[in-house]
Structures are given as C-alpha cells and as structure tokens.
A = this chain, B = another copy of it.
C-alpha cells in the first residue's frame, strides 16, 4: 500500500508538503495541492491511521461496549451514540460483551490499547475492569448501570421508581399475587428493579414472598425456565413483572406453554418497549426506557469529557414511562 513518501516522490515534493496538502492546511501553493492530490489519487493512497494517531496522540474512534447486542434496548442506545458521535466526526466501535465479564475485559483492554478517544460502557463486569478503564485515563461514560466502585460520568434510568410504578399498576388492576423475574444479583438494574418491586408491594401493605421472585441471566432461555418454575408453584403468581424484553420472550413462552393468557390469566409488565411488544396478543404493557436518548446524552457527555478532562463527573438520571397495554388489564 502506498505511503506518504510514495506520494511525495510522485508529486515531486516533500512528505511535509503532502501532509499539509492532504490535511487542507492553507499554507500550500494551489498548484502543489493539485499535484499532490493527483499523485495521491493515482497511487490510491490511503493515509495510515495508526501512524497518524500515533503521531498526533489522538484517535477519532470511540468504543461502545454493550452488554448484549441482541437486546433492542442496547442497540437503540447504540443508534443514539452513533448518530451523535458521527456528527462530531468520530467512528463508533461497537463491542458486544455479551454479559460476560471476561469478554468485557478483553474489549476494554483492546480499546485502551488502541488508544480510543473515549469509551461508553454498559458495565457487566467487575471493579477490576472498571479500575483498569479509569486508570488508563481514557474518558469514560457509563450507561444503564454505574461503573462498579468508580466515579465517572453516568447516564442512568430510574429503574427502581419505574419498577415501583409498574408494580403499583398491577396492584391497582387487582392482581393479588405479583411475581418478579429479573436479572442476576449484583447487576444494578436487576437489583433496582427488584427493589422497586419490593417498594411497590410494600406500599400496598403486602408482604413480598421469595417464592414469587426468580433471578437469572438477562436471557430468554433462563427467563423461560424461571417462568415455568414460577407457574409451577403451588400458589403461582397471577401477575409478573419482567426485567427486560429479552426475558419477556421467555416468560411469554412459558405462559403459552401453560396455555395461560397474558392479562386475563397472568398480568404481565416488562421493561423495554421492544418492536414486537404491540404485536403479541394482548399487547404487552411495558416500562419504556428512553434508550436512544441515553445514547445521545452519553455521547454528548463523552465528547464534552474528551474536550475538557478536568471537571467533576456528572450523573444524569432519566425517567422511564409505563405504557399500559392489554397484558396487564384483567379486562
């Protein structure tokens, strides 16, 4: 592949002039610019981004590490990050940690080593990964979940409040035994949603039964088993709060297997307004998180942080909206 020296030789100028011409510096004579451009085109010259970044000590790439590419919530965040970052001239390198702390660590290390301009991450992982990221000095914004034991810019949604509202809604609908299927212990969103569920139950003067709570990976398969187990209880729930839309797929399958109808037999509210939520029958009541806005806001915060490293970390907490549809109405 042609280098800047090849272009310089062909154009009969120095590499410095080629560099200046190609970077649109105003201090190059027009005819030289033309010669350089012609030579570059003839050779099919593509500047080496590695060399450029090494020299300039900056890259125009931000990494976005998400915990599950197959979750529409995270892909919507990705769209938001992308739109904002691209408008500012950055490429977005999307990395799928797949809810796996090891993969996450690999991606974080790779991003740091490639000296990306910044990292937006929905952390799956351990304090060690968080520390590695922070210590590197790379600007970081955490989304969806706080970065374990570390202070950095953060964009969250008030999951706990939203879960409380969802639970209160189910109670208001007359459901008596409300269950909850949420993510693994230690994952902040999963814990928050469970806490909010507790809040809602308690606010109604009822007691939480551990028999009505299931925790598993934020995946459909686990949620399906959890749903089946819940429905197999001696006194099964008549409503379920589900931790995200991927899990909702599993829980709805479990209901279908038991020939139970959402709403009428078992009230269902799930986090995340997936594209298919209105297609199921009855339509799924959801807690809609502003995923795209999370992405744009996180990207804005990251760009600001890349600009000015100094100031205090900020946390933005957005609100979710309960969209009541048929799956949580008894009639």
Among A47-75, those with CB < 8 Å from B are: 47-54, 59-61, 69-70, 72, 75
Contact A107/B82 with A113-B49, A249-B279 known, Cβ cut-off 8 Å: no
Whether A47 lies near B280 (C-beta < 8 A) is: no
Q: Which residue of B lies closest to A137 (CB)?
A: B1
Whether A69 lies near B61 (C-beta < 8 A) is: no
Q: Which residue of B lies closest to A1 (CB)?
A: B137
Number of chain A residues whose Cβ lies closer than 8 Å to a Cβ of chain B: 55
Interface residue? A38 (CB, 8 A) = no
Among A222-265, those with CB < 8 Å from B are: 246, 249, 252-253, 256
The number of times this chain is found in the oligomer is 2
A86 partner, pick from B44, B51, B60, B103, beta carbons under 8 A: B103
A70 partner, pick from B59, B79, B96, B106, beta carbons under 8 A: B79
Cβ of A269 to closest chain B Cβ, rounded Å: 16
CB<8 Å pairs between A and B, sample of 10: A46-B109, A52-B113, A61-B110, A79-B96, A91-B95, A91-B107, A249-B275, A274-B276, A276-B280, A279-B279
Interface residue? A324 (CB, 8 A) = no
Q: Which residue of B lies closest to A64 (CB)?
A: B94
Whether B49 lies near A115 (C-beta < 8 A) is: yes
Cβ of A246 to closest chain B Cβ, rounded Å: 8
Whether A256 lies near B279 (C-beta < 8 A) is: yes
Whether A75 lies near B86 (C-beta < 8 A) is: no
Mark contacts of A131-152 with chain B using CB atoms, 8 A cut-off: 1 yes-contact digit, 0 otherwise.
Answer: 0000111000000000000000
